[in-house]
Amino acid sequence: MNSFDLLEFFSAFIVLFAVIDILGSIPIVIDIRNKGGRINAFHAASISFGILLLFLFVGEALLGLFGVDLSSFAIAGSFVLMLMAMEMILGITLFRHDSPAGASIVPIAFPLIAGAGSFTTLLALRAEFALFNIIAALFANILVVFFVLHNTNRIERIIGSGGIYVLKKFFGIILMAMAIRLFMSNIATLLVDFMSKVKDLG
């Protein structure tokens, strides 16, 4: 359970990378900076990591208070991931970033990086992968977040708006495929549990 699995790490990393979408958020970060919002890359990244790590550990317990099992939450999460993928692929807006403008903590750390999508994704991933691999993938993503926030203007000049557009579409397709996989694997688990209960009652 605690052993490192490269395939699980890479899969979790790609999903979190697509959901956090820090490259796609570069225009938002630039706009905040242009409006005078000072962003400390280290503070934003470390606070995001702390929030997400805390939710990874206590999120399942919170679900238990409402009587929701992890597989059911993962299925609900797969729908959220699918909608986010549609946003990225079709260029539509389904989720609003309506938090008041701020700097490193709000809205960069929360809700831009550690938001509803990443919360849902972390708990959904717990139904699929070992906890150690999820934490490693999360930490690797936070390193990417720090690097991007620290070098936003330079990255924009190198990749260009066209490059950011292509990356967003590509990771949207990856995210959609992961959402379908997440749905299929967890709906199967729920069906097996349901059939087992029916058999016991019979």
pLDDT at 70 over 60: yes
Residue 72 lies in a domain: yes
Distance between CA atoms of residues 195 and 12, nearest Å = 30
Distance between CA atoms of residues 183 and 137, nearest Å = 21
What are the phi and psi torsion angles at 122 (to 5°)?
Answer: -60, -45
Question: What's the pLDDT score for residue 103?
Answer: 47
Residue 3 lies in a domain: no
pLDDT single digits (tens) 35-66: 666 788 999 999 999 999 998 999 878 878 88
Rg, the chain, Cα only: 18
- Which of 71, 42, 53 lies closest to 16, judged by CA? 53
Residue 6 lies in a domain: no
Q: How far is CA 94 from CA 28, 81, 91, 98, 176, in A?
A: 16, 12, 10, 12, 15
Helix (H) or strand (E) holding 139: helix 131-150
Look up the domain containing 56 and give its range.
16-201
Cα 136 from chain centre: 14
pLDDT at 100 over 60: no
Residue 104 lies in a domain: yes
Residue 10 lies in a domain: no
- What does the block give as tokens for 74? 């993962």
- Which pLDDT band holds residue 7 (cuts at 50, 70, 90)? very high
Residue 8 lies in a domain: no
pLDDT single digits (tens) 133-151: 999 999 999 999 999 999 9
Domain count within the chain? 1
